[in-house]
Amino acid sequence: MSEHWWRDAVIYQVYPRSFADADGDGMGDLEGIRSRIPYLAALGVDAVWLSPCFASPQKDAGYDVSDYRRIDPRFGDLDDFDRMLADAHAAGIRLIVDLVPNHTSSEHAWFQAALAAAPGSPERERYHFRDVVDPEVPPNNWQSIFGGPAWTKTDDGKQWYLHLFDASQPDLNWDNPEVHAEFQSVLRFWLDRGVDGFRIDVAHGMVKADGLPDTGGDGTIEMIGTTQAPFFDQDGVHDIYRSWRPIIEEYDGDRIFVAEAWTDSAERRSLYLRPDELHQAFNFDLVLAPFSAADFRKAIDSEIANNAGVGAPCTWVLSNHDVQRHVTRYGGGELGLARAKAATQLLLSLPGVVYVYQGEELGLNEVLDLPAEVREDPTFFRTGGAQIGRDGCRVPLPWTREGSSFGFGANGSWLPQPADWGALSAEAEDGVPGSTLEFYRSAIALRKAHKATGLTWLADPGEDAFAFDNGALVAVVNFGAEPVPVAGYGTEVLLASSPITDGLLPGGSTAWFNK
């Protein structure tokens, strides 16, 4: 470990509803997670980022929180949380929870109080309410990221309220000191319970431009890969993080904040990582990059340069609960899996932090053919099915070859799993040489034994391929279709994502050599 654990950690994202279901209700829970801590320890991860498990009507799978200090009964209760946290810590695994400060659920006591109160009341001041002038014309042209308008009228038709996401997720007004005080108290509540940090949801969204001006164009904004907008990446958001940093510093244990901040450049993203703000910010550039040496290299160079400027670690990501799984993004099938392993191995040799999304270590693909009646993502409904949404990367994990929901739970799973997922289960892959699970285990173990200290590019081995020295090993990555010669890069192969034959590394593969 470097001086701070979070500068080179491998952090595993658990999506609680789809990880493991201990009580047999078809949805994952905290006890299910606790029962699988030995699996996470064997994988070698340093920490878990747990997507929201707080009280919620689950209109957006828990990113609609109705009580920030309670566990949703579907997942358990605070005692279950404490037990899970204690077991994780006993296994040497830290736990980061997911804080959702941009919006609450419409069932949150504050929003219910706001609806019951009059226009102009202090209760309404905690959110963004505006008078209805013309019932057909909302206060501005902002569109919800999930589709449709970002404004909904109150039942009496007198006011609009703002929601950048679903109508059940009203945006909080961060100009209101009460909102600041409440979230500082929520931070302390979980820090006092012993969590190791927070992933901050929509960390670039809390502050809106003065006067809520129209966006350019028709107001439609994609969150993924977006540019600046009057509701994203406003400079004022940094004041919030400057007020949070001293709070987390009061606690021992080297705890962290990680930002989900979509910005239009690595430079803007690095502003969130100034020494008095947050510790990490996901780099989504590789989520968006095509599988090509030039695109990956550009994203890597830019992240390293910008984060060095603020002294922050790079934070690499290929998959999460919002984007298509990278096996499928890279073409699916054997090719997609080979490329996905190559990309993962590449990430694990870069300097910085690597996030792993549950199931990628099994080689899971995106499930593209879920029927409409089982889908839950509001994106699907708010776009009338035009956008398929994110359910396909949220299908519950297969743990066993056979049995109800392949060992996810005793009574099926909230989304159906593909019939062939038994072969991708943890049981089917455990101890099997060449399985994706064993590949992840070896790669994570080797990464720890060969800690990257930097990155120096070496001569390219081929047209769509690159090589670098990270201070501890030499990595060669072949993005192309044709094999490339690797004899000059080292003699001892530490790990190759596909076998090297006759000194040639196949297309869609990464190899590590001892220095």
Instruction: Work out how close the CB of 49 gets to ligand BGC at its nearest, in angstroms, rounded to a whole number.
Output: 11
The reply on whether position 469 binds ligand BGC by CB under 6 A is: no
- Least CB distance from residue 377 to ligand BGC, whole Å? 8
CA distance 193 to 54: 14
Q: Does 171 bind ligand BGC (CB under 6 A)?
A: no
Residues in region 439-468 near ligand BGC by CB under 6 A: none
The binder of ligand BGC chosen from 322, 366, 376, 429 (CB under 6 A): 322
56-95 binders of ligand BGC (CB under 6 A)? 60, 63
Report the residue number, 64 or 361, with the smaller CB distance to ligand BGC: 64
3-state helix vs strand vs coil in the chain, percent to 5: 35, 15, 50
- Does the annotation mark 201 as catalytic? yes
196 lines the binding site for ligand BGC (CB under 6 A): no
Tell me whether residue 145 or residue 362 sits nearer to ligand BGC (CB atom): 145
By CB under 6 A, tell whether 165 contacts ligand BGC. yes
* In the complex, least distance from residue 349 CB atom to ligand BGC, rounded to whole angstroms: 27
Written as one string, the DSSP assignment of 213-226 is PPPSTTS---STT-
CB of 68 to ligand BGC, least distance (A): 13
Reading the block at residue 330, the tokens are: 């890279």
Structure token digits, residue 490: 């080292």
Per-residue binder mask for ligand BGC (CB under 6 A), 233-272, x = binder: ---------------------------x------------
Q: Least separation, in Å, of the C-beta of 258 and ligand BGC?
A: 12
Is position 277 annotated as part of the catalytic site?
A: no
**CA Rg, the chain, in Å?**
23
**By the 8 A CB rule, do 101 and 199 touch?**
no
Among 9, 11, 93, 100, binds ligand BGC (CB under 6 A): 100
Q: Is 335 exposed, middle or buried (0-12, 13-18, 19+ CB in 10 A)?
A: middle
User: Does the footprint of ligand BGC cover residue 376 (CB under 6 A)?
Assistant: no
Residue whose Cβ sits closest to ligand BGC:
63
Whether 1 contacts 92, CB under 8 Å: no
Out of 201, 285, 360, 429, the active site residue is: 201
CA pair distance 324, 287, nearest whole angstrom: 9
CA distance 434 to 88: 28
Taking the least distance from each CB to ligand BGC, the nearer of 320 and 328 is 320
By the rule CB under 6 A, 201 interacts with ligand BGC: yes
User: Residue 155 is encoded by which pair of tokens?
Assistant: 């039942």
Q: How far is the CB of 99 from ligand BGC (least distance, A)?
A: 11
Instruction: Tell me if residue 25 falls in helix, strand or coil.
Output: coil
Structure tokens at 152: 């909904």
Instruction: Report the distance separating Cα 44 and Cα 40, nearest Å.
Output: 6
Which of residues 8 and 377 has its CB atom nearest to ligand BGC in the complex?
A: 377
**Contact at 8 Å (CB) between 154 and 124?**
no
β-sheet bridge partners, residue 103: 171
Return the number of the residue (392 or 506) whose C-beta is nearest ligand BGC.
392
DSSP H helices in 369-483: 378-382, 426-429, 436-449
Footprint of ligand BGC on 302-321 (CB under 6 A): 321
Of positions 65, 71, 95, 202, contacts ligand BGC by CB under 6 A: 202
Residue 272 phi/psi, 5-degree rounding, is -70, -15
Residue 387 backbone phi and psi in degrees, to 5: -105, 125
Contact 10, 316 (CB under 8 A): no
Nearer to ligand BGC, 202 or 206 (CB): 202
| Contacts to ligand BGC by CB under 6 A | 60, 63, 100, 165, 201-202, 260, 321-322
Cite the active site residues. 201, 250
